[in-house]
Chains A and B, each alone.
Chain A
């Protein structure tokens, strides 16, 4: 029972005792055990990434009313391994005039940015990288590295379409960081701490019930940050070929592609952690490792929702994307932040806390949509009125 209540710590202690038994000083043994833990987590994450390739193809197939890969292995499960082998043996051409060092660093940066996110994701109450007390801001910082990866990839390829795609993608990514940061600020404010595991622990009531509009904001801005549809203009084959990774082939392209899928899953995980209680679920108090199951379930549901949106909605144009952000999401997110802060301070501890917060969110959302609807009505009237005046039937 002692083992099951914290198997990770038991394993770490056992390894440390082996290393100090060999004569290593305690601090060095700790570093080595930490290194083993980090490598184990990253290996598991990479295997998860490989299975995500299969999952993505099955999801898109089902949405498009077909079967997806089903030839290699049972249910096509061996398919991703075949994909990896193909990518490994493909020739790696570097375009003429490309800036070699920067060209080679970009895919490594893209993957590194996603792997760094797993350092703060709370998978189970005892299983996470670190619970630094600035976890929420750390996510934004790592997002900055991802942005850098895209812009260096676009510039180093010596291809004007890559450059154009990279700039558009970076402009969209930095624009949508503002509503995402505000959407992260709201659970931070409700929990009173920035550490993500602490936010999960503070969720006696899921923050989705307390701030549903913040969850919707996070969903929309996360989709834009990930560069997934409907915000994937930079990768649209009919517009910019493949955006910043036009000139990449072989495993370098594999790194970009795997990084994108893993990034989507990681954001599904963050959505679960911030708004749906993370590893919380029945039975976690006795068996902390059960939290792993709940977390994976919630993250997979989040990933499925991302896929659902991607394979249902058409692509949005770049100027519409930016207008949506700066003229709708940013004002709504700031208004929501003020309303949630006020409601939280006023209603905290009273009986009407949950229902009051939920209704205030709904009110802000409804108000925002009404304002947009009124302005659209006004614009339509302006367009139709001169048209009617010029029409010959009048």
Chain B
């Protein structure tokens, strides 16, 4: 067991445990904080894979913007922070069976896939990953069109947010 594998197993355990806590905890703010732990675990996984840029972007965007948005949204809409009521409803055994069947089916399907054991090609050691990413984003025969479309997508998101908020303001 290399050190990398140990760290991966610990991180994966933390992610799974905090994901379970997000869903089962009764306090909404605690759910948001457990979500932050999960997202941080995902950033650690990216760092383990040497994807430094994506790891840092995960923290900046997910934890720095989206988690804060979640916390604001929870505090805006919830008068009471605790989830009253039962955690499970009467059909829980059926959902457990469906989940187990889905897991079994996926396991069976992916068992024969050799993608798990093939090594992804290593980047040439002199290459700077972020430079390559940057050049790929602007070169006309790589990803420049998705790059520009991404900005249009963000514009659409902004306009949509303005529209929804405007509705709310109109109602007030």
Chains A and B directly touch (beta carbon < 8 Å): yes
- Which residues of A line the B interface, CB within 8 A? 27, 99, 102, 132-134, 137-138, 140-141, 143-145, 147-148, 151-152, 155, 167, 170, 174, 177, 193-194
B57 engages A147 (CB within 8 Å)? no
Do residues B60 and A133 form an inter-chain contact, with CB atoms below 8 A? no
Query: Is there an interface contact between A141 and B29, defined as CB atoms closer than 8 Å?
Result: no
How many Å lie between the Cα of A152 and that of B52 in the bound state?
A: 27
8 interchain pairs, CB-CB under 8 A = A27-B3, A99-B27, A134-B56, A141-B56, A141-B60, A141-B63, A147-B68, A155-B75
Measured between C-beta atoms, what is the minimum distance from B46 to chain A in Å?
11
**Roughly how many angstroms separate A170 CA and B64 CA in the complex, as a whole number?**
11
CB pair B33 A133 closer than 8 Å: no
Cross-chain contact A143 with B64 (CB below 8 angstroms): yes
Which residues of B lie under 8 Å from residue A133 when comparing CB positions? 52, 128-130
Q: A194 to B53: give the CA distance in the assembly, Å.
A: 10
Can you name 6 extra interface pairs (CB under 8 A) apart from A148-B36, A148-B68?
Answer: A102-B33, A134-B56, A137-B57, A137-B60, A174-B65, A177-B64
Tell me whether A151 and B64 are in contact in the complex, defined as CB-CB below 8 angstroms, given that A134-B52, A137-B56, A138-B56 are known contacts: no
A145 touches B63 (CB 8 A): yes
How many residues does chain B have at the interface if contact means C-beta atoms less than 8 Å apart? 23
| Minimum Cβ distance to chain B for residue A238 (Å) | 25
Closest to A144 in B: B64
User: Does B42 make an interface contact (CB < 8 A)?
Assistant: no
| Contact flags B70-81 to A (C-beta < 8 A → 1, else 0) | 011001000000
Please give, as numbers and ranges, the residues of chain A lying within 8 Å of B59 by CB-CB distance.
Answer: 141, 144-145
Q: Nearest residue in A to B63 (C-beta to C-beta)?
A: A144
Residues of B contacting A137 with CB < 8 Å?
Answer: 53, 56-57, 60
Residue pair A194, B33 in contact (C-beta under 8 Å)? no
Q: Contacts A102-B33, A134-B52, A147-B68 known; A194 to B60 CB distance under 8 Å?
A: no
Given contacts A133-B130, A151-B68, contact A144 B33 (CB under 8 A): no
| A155-B29 contact, Cβ under 8 Å, with A137-B57, A137-B60, A145-B63 | yes
Q: With a CB–CB cut-off of 8 A, which chain A residues contact B3? A: 27
Hey, which chain A residues are within 8 Å of B29, CB to CB?
A: 99, 102, 155
For residue B137, CB closer than 8 A to chain A, the reply is no
- Report how far A147 CA is from B128 CA in the complex, Å: 31
Complex-state Cα separation, A151 to B33, whole angstroms: 11
Smallest distance from the beta carbon of B89 to chain A beta carbons, Å?
28
Q: What distance in Å separates the Cβ of B31 from its nearest Cβ neighbour in chain A?
A: 12
Q: Does B67 contact A (CB under 8 A)?
A: yes
Is A134 touching B130 in the complex (CB atoms < 8 A)? yes
- Name which of A27, A144, A170, A177 has the most chain B CB atoms within 10 A of its CB: A144
Please measure, in the bound complex, the distance between the C-alpha atom of A140 and the C-alpha atom of B63, giving whole angstroms: 11
CB distance from A119 to the nearest CB of B (A): 12
Chain B residues, Cβ within 8 Å of A132 = 52
Chain A residues near B63 (CB-CB < 8 A):
141, 144-145, 148
Q: Are the CB atoms of B52 and A144 closer together than 8 Å?
A: no
Interface readout for B20-44 with A: 1 if CB under 8 Å, 0 if not? Answer: 0000000101100100100000000
State A174–B60 Cα separation when bound (angstroms): 11
Task: For A193, list chain B residues within 8 Å (CB).
Answer: 128
Considering the chains assembled together, what is the distance between the CA atoms of A375 and B67 in angstroms?
A: 37
What are the residues of chain A within 8 A of B33 when measuring CB–CB? 102, 152
Give the residue name and chain of the A residue nearest to B47 (CB): A132
Beta-carbon nearest neighbor of B3 in chain A: A27
CB distance from B22 to the nearest CB of A (A): 15
Nearest CB of A to B167, in Å: 21
With both beta carbons as reference points, the residue of chain A lying nearest to B57 in the complex is identified as A137
Residues of B within 8 A of A143 (CB): 64
- Name, among A102, A141, A170, A194, the residue most crowded by chain B CB atoms within 10 Å (CB to CB): A141
Contact B57 A148 (CB under 8 A): no
Contact call A148/B67, Cβ cutoff below 8 A: yes
